[in-house]
Every structure is written in C-alpha cells, then in structure tokens.
A = this chain, B = another copy of it.
Amino acid sequence: MTVSKTAEKSGDAAKGRKDVGDAQIHGHAEALQLGELSEQLGYVLKRAQLKVFENFIRCMASLQLTPAQFSVLLLVEKNPGRNQTEVASTLGILRPNFVALLDNLESRDLCARIRSTNDRRSHILVLTDKGKAVLSRAKKLVATKHESRLNELLEPANREALLQMLSKIANEF
C-alpha cells in the first residue's frame, strides 16, 4: 500500500559535504529523512514483507509458484481430503477468490478437486503426484535459496524470535 516493488533507488545519500549549493541549483540529491517513519511498525513490516515476497518469487521463478500457490500446496499436502472452504478460510482467502487460484493449480496438474461422496456439494482437495514432486522441489528451493538468504542476515536465534513475535502479532493483535 505505502510501498511498491520497484522504485527502490532512494537517492544516493548525502556525500558528506557541508554546503548544499549544488542542491540549491540542481535540486536536492540528499535522501529524505525517514524520521518517525522508521519507528512505525506497520511501515517497516510492509516493506519487509514486500522484500521477502519479492525474493520468494525470484527463487521460485523456475517453478512458477507464487507465495499464495505455495501456501495452498503446503496446506493441502499437510491436510489432504479437506474441502475448498476449509483450505481457503485457513489461508484467509475468500471462497470466491479461491476458485481461480485452484483452477490454475488444477490446470497445471498440481492438485485435484474430487467430489466428496459424503457431501456431494464439497470438493475434496488432494495433491497430484506431480503436485507432490513440484512441492518437494519448491521446498528445496525455499531452503537453499530463500531461507539461506535470510540466515545470512539474521542469527538463528533471532530468526526464531522474529517468527515467534510475528506469529503472536498475527494471532493476537
């Protein structure tokens, strides 16, 4: 919302000179001061989230899996036999919006809708063999390319603390 994916240049910062004569003539080259913005949790959270998604998408380019698609595959693998409503609502996806997402995964033969015999209104979701194979490769990519990048930035203990705090916010805020 506040933040886009490109446009990250952010100017070339003040080069340590005292006079601003150049800026007066040719325009300000100095980066703006973020001030209180850098203390705003929502702002920093949003920018961090965009960066992480961006990196995720880049790491998954060869498999063409978005974060949302990956989350569906993970959840269906862990909970085979659940219906669309259950899977969608667990992920916070509205049922109408889940249809196109599933159409995509199904058309790529990654997952399948099966009419439930108990309740013929329901579509039970399962991963196809190809879906399982792709998910397995996806997990490896996440581990070797995506998470490894994160581990360079944060200490393992910090990484765990970060996840725990974010979960707390997600669940209790």
Contact = CB atoms under 8 A, between A and B. Distances in A.
Dominant SS among interface residues on chain A = helix
Contacts of A43: 67, 71
Interface string A26-68: 0110011111111111111111111111011000000000111
Contact of A1 (B68, B139, B167, B172): B68
B162 A165 contact: yes
Contacts of A53: 1, 42, 46
A139 B36 CA distance: 10
A32 B27 CA distance: 56
A94 B46 contact: no
A87 interface: yes
A156 to B, nearest CB: 13
A162 to B, nearest CB: 5
Interface string A80-108: 00110011111111100100000000000
B44 A2 contact: no
25 contacts: A1-B53, A2-B71, A7-B93, A9-B89, A10-B89, A32-B82, A33-B79, A35-B77, A41-B147, A41-B159, A41-B162, A43-B71, A44-B163, A44-B167, A44-B170, A45-B49, A48-B173, A51-B173, A52-B169, A55-B173, A153-B169, A153-B173, A158-B165, A161-B161, A162-B165
Interface of A: 1-11, 24-25, 27-28, 31-53, 55-56, 66-68, 71, 74-75, 77-79, 82-83, 86-94, 97, 118-119, 122, 139, 142, 147, 149-150, 153-154, 158-159, 161-163, 165-170, 172-173
Given A4-B93, A153-B169, 4 more contacts: A1-B68, A32-B78, A40-B74, A43-B67
